Every structure is written in C-alpha cells, then in structure tokens.
Amino acid sequence: MRFKAMAGIAALVAAGVAVARRGAVREAVRSRWQGARPGAEASSAEPAREPWTCACGKRYLVAGRDRHRIYWLEGAPESDPLLSDRCPECERPLPAEHEAATVTQT
C-alpha cells in the first residue's frame, strides 16, 4: 500500500515538473519571438507594421522582409493576417522576393 502511495506522489511530482517546464519553454519562445532576451519580460507590443499599397489601390500593413513578409488588410487585427499571396481585390501577387535597390549610372 505504501509503495502505491509513493508511486502516486512521484507521478504527481513528475507531472508538476513537466507542466512547469512547458510553461518555461513557452515563455522562452514568446520572448525570443518578440525579440527579448531569454528570461527578460516579454513586451506586449505588436510587431512593427508598415503601410503598403497595391497597384489597384488596396491598402495593407506589412511586417517582415523578403519572403517572410506578412500582410494585413488595413485596419485588421494582428490575429487576422492575409493568408493568400495575392491581392484579394485584383489578384496581383503580393511582393515576397528580395527588393534590390535600383542603381542608376550617370
């Protein structure tokens, strides 16, 4: 009987350690995603989003660079990004490649 009780307590302790560990991992991932140092307080600020306008006039907010860009319709919450790689208004592809600077020689 005593062995079963000890095994039950050990199982509860192991479960508690696993839950605490998972919370610490989630916090580390959240801090890293938001650009903070591990162990630092995570900020609740949204990622910087810059305005961008399609050739058809549809306005977006965009975050990220090159093929890692995320687009939102203007006024959409952060939790509702555009899931397509095309403008829903005109079906033109949204920029996703590296934008090279144009050099003009004189």
pLDDT digits (tens, 9 = 90+) for 42-60: 455 556 889 999 999 999 9
Q: Compute the distance between CA of residue 7 and CA of residue 52 in angstroms, rounded to an integer.
A: 60
pLDDT tens digits for range 5-48? 777 787 777 776 666 666 666 676 666 565 555 554 545 555 68
Q: Compute the distance between CA of residue 63 and CA of residue 56 in angstroms, rounded to an integer.
A: 20
Q: Compute the distance between CA of residue 50 and CA of residue 71 in angstroms, rounded to an integer.
A: 10
Q: Compute the distance between CA of residue 29 and CA of residue 11 in angstroms, rounded to an integer.
A: 27
Q: What is the CA radius of gyration of the chain?
A: 23
DSSP state of 32: H
- What pLDDT is stored for residue 10 in this prediction? 78
* pTM, two decimal places: 0.48
